[in-house]
Amino acid sequence: MTANHTDDLQLLARIKVGESRAFDLLFVKYYPNLLHFSRSLLPYPSDEAEDVVLEVFHQFWRNRDTINIHSSLSAFLYVSVKNRIYDYRRKLKLNTPLEDIHGDTMVSQEGPDHTLNYKEAAENIEKLIRLLPERMQLIFRMNREDELSYQEIADLLDISINSVKTQMYRAIKFLKETYRFDSSVV
Q: What are phi and psi of 18, to 5 degrees?
A: 90, 15
144-176 pLDDT, tens per residue?
888 888 999 999 898 999 999 999 999 988 888
The rounded mean pLDDT for the chain is 80
pLDDT score, position 118: 62
pLDDT score, position 94: 52
134-143 pLDDT, tens per residue?
899 999 988 8
Mean pLDDT is highest, among 49-63, 76-90, 100-114, 165-179, for: 49-63
CB count, 10 Å around CB of 177? 11
Q: Catalogue all structural domains in the chain, each as residue range(s) with its CATH number.
A: 1-104 (1.10.1740.10), 105-186 (1.10.10.10)
Report the largest interatomic distance among the alpha carbons of the chain, rounded to a whole angstrom: 58
21-54 pLDDT, tens per residue?
999 999 999 999 998 888 888 876 667 888 899 9
Residues in the chain, total: 186
Q: Could you list the beta-strand ranges (E) of the chain.
A: none
The pLDDT confidence band at residue 69, using thresholds 50, 70 and 90, is confident
Contact 153, 139 (CB under 8 A): yes
111 Cβ contact partners less than 8 Å away, ≥ 6 residues apart: none
The pLDDT confidence band at residue 60, using thresholds 50, 70 and 90, is very high
Q: Is the peptide bond prior to 97 cis by the omega test (within 30 degrees of 0)?
A: no
